[in-house]
Structure 1
Amino acid sequence: MHLVWATHGRLPLILPHGEADLYECVRLEATKLRLEVLAIGGIEDHVHLAIRLPATRTIAEIMKQIKGASSHHMSQVSPDGFFKWQEGYGAFAFHTSLTPRIIAYIENQKTHHANGELLAALEESDEEAPLSNNFVREDAGEAWLEARYFNASP
């Protein structure tokens, strides 16, 4: 599962000196949820996370826990005490044959953004998604990706 979520208003709140700390917090929360983390990456306004999703967990509970814990942690260590995520997130299921490509995409986020080499569908969360709450299927030979955008608001 490939998850992506953004800072509140896409503000550049993920500062270089706090990025590793944020990713470690995300990794620790994922471990508490018994998730296998495949990759974590992002830039100053959003995070990508690839995990193996066990049948015993829902995406909603995972995102609530990871976003909640990381927002709380970052608010504690932020110089001005402000850190907030947007309400929703994007979740993308991908065929196992795409795992190396997804991991590379996440681990090289800074390069992709600097060079404008983005996969637009993988950069959107619910607030930016033109197909909000719809599934998207992209075929690439035998490989496939399904996307669903979620908003935590009722």
Structure 2
Amino acid sequence: MANTYTKLYIQIVFAVKGRASVIREEFRDELQKYMTGIIQNKKQKLYAIYCMPDHVHIFVSMGPELAISDLVRDVKANATSFINDKGWVEGYFEWQRGFGAFSYSESQVKAVVNYVLNQREHHEEKTFREEYIELLNQFEVDFDNKYLFEFLE
């Protein structure tokens, strides 16, 4: 797109179907590398990614040629096939429908990268439900509890 310039920083959050804790630590690095490749092949810049056992945080800058929903769809679809092909879970692996996407300014990039990369420590103090609702409230997103991810806490 000639004469179109953007730099949009987006944190994307999505969860494993049923909030099952199936992304095991021994597979996390390989899954993150695979997802990184998908994002890079879509020509988006990845700043940070962290796969928790039951959800994922991705922090990217998005260009104008790709919608956020298309990026998330492609990451989730390809990662689903990758996980199932590897046989990392018993039965069939799936992500929950939907995702959260939150935008940030240039001055917040370092803090968000640190936040994403320190998910394990962060979740020692706060559940995913608490974290996700806090993000929704911080960004003043109107939401209905019945449409949030399935929370098993």
Query: What interval of TM-score do these two structures reach, taking the shorter chain for normalisation?
Result: 0.7 to 0.9
1:84 aligns to 2:91 (yes or no): no
Which whole-Å CA distance do the structure 1 matches of 2:123 and 2:35 have between them?
22
Length, aligned pairs only: 134
Given that residues 40 and 47 in structure 1 are in contact (C-alpha distance below 8 angstroms), is that contact kept between their aligned partners in structure 2? yes
The equivalent position to 1:95 in structure 2, one of 83, 105, 123, is 105
Larger relative contact order (CA 8 Å, sep ≥ 6): 2
Give 2:151's aligned residue.
none
TM-score w.r.t. length of structure 2: 0.77
Residue 114 of structure 1 corresponds to 124
Distance 1:147 1:51, change over 3 A: farther
Structure-1-length-normalised TM-score = 0.76
1:40 corresponds to which residue?
A: 49
2:35 maps to which residue? 26
Which structure shows the bigger proportion of residues in strand conformation?
1
Q: CA RMSD in A?
A: 2.8
1:115, distance to aligned residue in structure 2 (A)? 3.1
Q: Which runs of 5+ in 2 are unaligned?
A: 1-9, 148-153
